[in-house]
Amino acid sequence: MRYSNSWVIQSNLIYLHSVFQICIINIKKIVMFKKIALLLLCVFPISLMGQEVKLGHINSQEILSLMPERAEIEKTLNDLQTQWENELVKMREEYYAKIKEFQDKQATMPESIKQARQSEIVEIEQRINTFNQTASSDLQKKQQELFTPVIDKVKKAINEVGSENNYTYIFDLSTQSIVYQSPKSNDVTALVKKKLGLK
């Protein structure tokens, strides 16, 4: 049961690391958005400021959650994670079996065998750590690989909606990068959903 608890802790750490990375990315987006907004305000000609600026906003997370590809992607990622979890469980079972065997027999072991067994245990522990890191990294890469075409598809639809409806800017509310939202701002999430054939 020890390895199960340890696996839960490691899984939680991997999850927290992923959440932390997402938070860092979102903070970087917010900083970049503010810089771009400030730059636009500085470089806009006065004549352009007098023209009508049409603003809109969307919620990309809502759109992505409705994409038909999402279910298949999540199934693929869950299947991969299950395979890695099963492999990790086997490695941990081997690890704890070696520890138990060592503890049971160390009193009667010659020093050379004792050192060899200790080295085996350390090696298995290192393999588990390496495998855990590799599995986490591979899962993130696979997630990016599978979601990139879907994100590109949504971006294309957003660009088409912006162009067809003469928007100057469309802001994404899911990035939480807007500190003020005018009541006159138009929510174009529905238009993007329509463009993608989503309900």
User: Are the CB atoms for 120 and 98 separated by under 8 Å?
Assistant: yes
The DSSP call for residue 54 is: -
CATH class held by domain 2-196: alpha beta
Residues of the chain short of pLDDT 70, as ranges, are 1-51, 176-185
pLDDT given at position 1: 41
pLDDT given at position 80: 92
pLDDT given at position 11: 53
pLDDT given at position 38: 52
**Residue 187 falls in which region: left (phi positive, over 0), alpha (psi -120 to 50) or beta:** beta
- Three-class SS state of 169: strand
Query: Residues 4, 95, 77, 149: is their CA dihedral positive or negative?
Result: positive
Query: Residues 28, 31, 34, 39: is their CA dihedral positive or negative?
Result: negative
Buried b (16+ CB within 10 A) or exposed e, 34-52: eeeeeeeeeeeeeeeeeee
User: Are the CB atoms for 57 and 97 separated by under 8 Å?
Assistant: no
pLDDT given at position 42: 52
DSSP strand pairing (55-58 vs 186-187): parallel
| Interval 43-91: pLDDT, tens | 444 444 555 778 888 888 888 889 999 999 999 999 999 999 999 999 9
* C-beta atoms surrounding 56 within 10 Å: 20
